[in-house]
Structure 1
Amino acid sequence: PIGEPLIGHTDVVFGVAFSPDGQLLASGSDDGTLILWDTVTHQVIGEPLTGHTDGVLSVAFSPDGRVLASASRDHTVILWDIVTHQVIGEPLTEHMAEVTAVAFSPDGKLLATASRDNTIRLWDVATHQVVRQPFTGHVHWVLSLTFSPDGQWLVSGSRDTSVIWWNIETGQPMGQPFFTQQGWVNGVTFSPDGSRLASATDDGKVLVWEADLQAWQTRACQIANRNLSNEEWARYFPATDYHVTCP
């Protein structure tokens, strides 16, 4: 460890996130607060951020580092101004159960939120309005979220042991869910170049997935030894237009 542990919360700490410039670390706790830390001095910056009425389960900085999002057991998400430490607008309140994960899109315009109500919501960060209907496809709690580096895809992991790829433009799953068959999917993250996706499950395993769409289509050609039919394409690649993939 670098220095001593950062001590400031009075209950379990569930979420941590570095600011994009690396100068701040945010932590969220079951004590209902968020704390901002100076990463050089390891000192608390200002007072703890209080606004939730229950534990904080996940935190995320916007790509420009100006906004911090927090997800809570109180069914809400709060956006915080990093400079003033004040709440920005009203809490986001569409979920019907604990909000388990938050993730900003790479351009910072969208915020994805996951919940124990089995849904994902997509929000316009500027207006705080929901974008499209809830993303539904999981049959149990949604526990983890990540955007692809190019911002075209959102990937979610669930207690139902599945990983689902979502098309941001349509809000629809890309093909069938991937089932890890290993347990709850507690974490998902893309490699920086977007070519790989890693998923973490509650049995101590990490699975690494091929994340390149063209590679999937090529692999489908190799397995079938022919071009996919229109029906097969619609099932596995519904978010993209049909085209010939086999030489």
Structure 2
Amino acid sequence: MSYTKGKLWPCNPSTTRGASTKLSASGSKIVYTNGTTVVDPAGNSTYSGHIQPTTVARFSPSGYYCASGDVTGTVRIWDTVGADNILKNEVKLGFKINDLEWDGESKRIITVGDGKNSLGAVFTFDTGNSAGEILGHSKAINAVSIRHQRPFRAVTASDDTQIGFFQGTPYKYVKTIKSHSRFVQDVRYAPSGDFFASAGADGRVFLYDGKEGELVAELTEGAHASTVMACSWSADSKSLVTSSTDCTVKLWDVETRKIVNTWTVGSDISSQQVGNTWAKDDIVSLSLSGDLNVFDRRDTGRPHQIIYGAQRGITAFTVAPSGTLYAGAYDGRVVSFSDNGAEAIHGDGHTSQVTALAVSDTKVFSTGFDDCVREIDAGAFTSTATGTNGQPKGAACDADVVYVITSKGLECIKGGKAVSKLSLGYGPSAVAASSKIIAVGAEDQKVYLFEKAAEPKQVGKLESNKGTVTALAFSPDGALLAAGDSTGRIVLYDVEKKEVKTSRWTFHSARISSIAWTADGKHAASGSLDTHVYIWSVEKPMRNIAIKNAGAGGISGVAWVGTNVVASAGADGCVRTWEIKFHE
């Protein structure tokens, strides 16, 4: 048995209200960060070499390397060619990285940010040796850009309302430019090097001469009504796009200094635009919600595409009979994934962490820390919402009945109403349902079996687990029950005999979060906090497939899509598929 890597549905960029989020592109490829992960959607890959949350990543002009920085001041330069992402160099700078930029020769990197003793640094990417100094600012530096033609120039944008102008190499401070009256959020050089632009919290956008740093013009016609978070140049240096917290994206003609197009994304806080870049001829602007809005420069109106994804860690995961995957996240968002892409589930959803997802033939049910069970139908939350008498910890579904374990017991919900509530004398921690039996895993390391009825009746107890039971799954025919626990061990039980069929599924090293069966009941997949996914065989218990490091931060859910494709989701907000080869 073996596996091959399949599709990646990436997380969306992380955002912070009131702060600019840096997006970077190389041709049609975009790179951005979320948590400790650097995401390259076009390359179907992620990079997880950072230990602390990342803040910015940019491809080198050559395209062979990517540099990424994090909140601790660590910059990692890694190879983009090949699946191994070999580390070229790591430089520790001692200040939070807000932005970084490569020079035109792909040799030097300027990093800027916020630190007690330093706000910026210049170094060679392969040795880490100093290649200049970043001086002249008194507050955090938000952005940096480098002229890629000789003579080299660099500019920085800061919270001190000023722009720093530098010449190189080595890079030396030349002067301070005082155009803005509030924080300067972004500054970018045109690819031609003739101009650079700045954008600030005063809602103003300025153009400057690329060689001397002299002010050329202010773009005033139809200016933004509030903070301009980002600006970005087209490849031909003739157009500039700006994104603002006024929820608009504006395209400017640099020669005439006039607006070519204005797009309004929305009107609420989540629609504030906090970052942008060009992906070849398309404009990509980032909403505070994490949605990536793709615009065609020739079209007016709304974006012609919106790229959805989880923005926080995925905490619940399931698959519908149609093969569509559903993921619920820490922030309450639910996203569906299919061959058509990712779609956000809109409507009156959860206001806090999604704790479980369960499916029937036609609907998806979700539970959350808002103590509520909600229905998802036709890609949206319905108006049906059922309150629970405690905080939901898990859910399972059989036909049209949802079985929810809460901090107080087991509840059976049908048609939006609780038809029974059973108090338990132990702390429930996992639940699963077959056509006849409800299984409840507990903190006392036992699995309790209940016969389905108007009032579920306990009919047995399984006691071979060695830790809190954290994941349960019945085989499709209901004959077997896989029970994973907090020690990383999975015990396979014969339900009718109430005996252990095998206790050899023991290769995980941390808490089991999810178990899923193949349709024929011959294999099961498991995901764990140890970041690994394992494929187990019922007939040959000692045979397994180990998908190591399947998701940074841990796996929270696994599900089978078809007969030989398993999907996994986890703390990094990404959903991945793996093609399993059972017979070789």
Q: Do both share a fold (TM > 0.5)? A: yes
Following the alignment from structure 1 to structure 2, what is the Cα–Cα distance between the partners of residues 129 and 203?
Answer: 37
1:127 to 1:64, Cα distance in 2 relative to 1, 3 A: closer
Give yes or no for contact 2:243–2:275 (8 Å, CA) kept in 1.
yes
* Equivalent position to 2:206, from 121, 126, 148: 121
Following the alignment from structure 2 to structure 1, what is the Cα–Cα distance between the partners of residues 193 and 289?
Answer: 33
Give yes or no for contact 1:153–1:168 (8 Å, CA) kept in 2.
yes
Aligned residue pairs, count: 209
Residue identity matched to 2:231: L
Aligned to 1:51: 136
The answer to whether structure 1 residue 208 and structure 2 residue 294 are counterparts is: yes
The answer to whether structure 1 residue 61 and structure 2 residue 149 are counterparts is: no
Within 5 Å, which residues of 2 pair with 1:32-43?
A: 33-41=119-127, 43=128
Residue identity matched to 1:200: L
1:22 to 1:57, Cα distance in 2 relative to 1, 3 A: same
Following the alignment from structure 1 to structure 2, what is the Cα–Cα distance between the partners of residues 81 and 132?
Answer: 22
- 1:203-230 Cα distance to aligned partner (Å, 9 max, x none): 111111113x3xx39x9xxxxxxxxxxx
Q: TM-score, normalised by structure 1?
A: 0.77
Aligned to 1:222: none
CA drift of 1:103 comes to: 0.9
- 1:1-60 Cα distance to aligned partner (Å, 9 max, x none): 3447532133x221111222211121101235221132223x241564221111110001
Aligned to 1:189: 277
Residue identity (%): 17
Aligned to 2:239: 153
Following the alignment from structure 1 to structure 2, what is the Cα–Cα distance between the partners of residues 156 and 104?
Answer: 14
Residue identity matched to 1:25: I
Structure 1 stretches of 4+ moved >4 Å: none
Residue identity matched to 1:141: T
Unmatched 5+ residue regions in structure 1?
220-247
Following the alignment from structure 2 to structure 1, what is the Cα–Cα distance between the partners of residues 103 and 275?
Answer: 19
Residue identity matched to 2:140: G
- 1:155-179 Cα distance to aligned partner (Å, 9 max, x none): 000111110011111212114x212
The answer to whether structure 1 residue 174 and structure 2 residue 260 are counterparts is: yes
Following the alignment from structure 1 to structure 2, what is the Cα–Cα distance between the partners of residues 102 and 205?
Answer: 23
Following the alignment from structure 2 to structure 1, what is the Cα–Cα distance between the partners of residues 239 and 213?
Answer: 21
Following the alignment from structure 1 to structure 2, what is the Cα–Cα distance between the partners of residues 37 and 150?
Answer: 29
Aligned to 2:216: 131
Aligned to 1:236: none
1:150 to 1:23, Cα distance in 2 relative to 1, 3 A: same
Secondary structure of the corresponding residue to residue 173 of structure 1: strand
Following the alignment from structure 1 to structure 2, what is the Cα–Cα distance between the partners of residues 101 and 21?
Answer: 23
Aligned to 2:179: 94
1:84 to 1:48, Cα distance in 2 relative to 1, 3 A: closer
Aligned to 2:3: none
Following the alignment from structure 1 to structure 2, what is the Cα–Cα distance between the partners of residues 84 and 23?
Answer: 12
Decide which moves more: 128-137 or 14-23: 128-137
Aligned to 2:228: 142
Aligned to 1:230: none
Aligned to 1:7: 92
Residue identity matched to 1:81: Q
Give yes or no for contact 1:59–1:102 (8 Å, CA) kept in 2.
yes
Q: TM-score, normalised by structure 2?
A: 0.34
CA drift of 1:134 comes to: 4.2
Residue identity matched to 1:206: L
* Equivalent position to 1:16, from 93, 100, 103: 100
